[in-house]
Amino acid sequence: MAVSTPRSSAAAAAAAFLVRRESERAVQFVKYHGLGNDFIMVDNRDSAVPKVTTEEAVKLCDRNFGVGADGVIFVMPGINGADYTMRIFNSDGSEPEA
């Protein structure tokens, strides 16, 4: 018999948010910590459209029911000769100003 812990329940709930209804595939991500901040990073170099919506980003960043993070960073396709660009959603779904 498996014992469900709050952490495993939260991880399972967060994983459920990542399943895109259109494609029925999970979005893979990693979580990085540094200097008191933590971000979820998604490799999005294959599409100019983020794999996670702003609403899903808010749910993922929730520290009680999601993965918990200060924001989501998308590694996007490069432009003007750059290898890649990035797009960030803050934990409230907003995008930081440049």
The answer, yes or no, to whether residue 78 has pLDDT greater than 70, is yes
The pLDDT score that the predictor gives to residue 2 is 47
> How far apart are the C-alpha atoms of 37 and 40, rounded to whole Å?
10
- Between 18-22, 32-36, 38-42, 54-58, the lowest mean confidence (pLDDT) is in 18-22
Per mean pLDDT, which of 4-18, 23-37, 70-84 is the most reliable? 70-84
Question: What distance in Å separates the CA atoms of residue 32 and residue 22, rounded to the nearest whole number?
Answer: 28
Average model confidence (pLDDT) across the chain: 85
Task: Classify 6-90 by CATH class.
Answer: alpha beta
Residue 26: what pLDDT? Answer: 85
Overall average pLDDT of the 46-51 stretch: 96
Give the C-alpha distances (Å, rounded to integers) separating 45 from 8, 37, 79, 83: 29, 24, 11, 9
d(CA 70, CA 4): 26
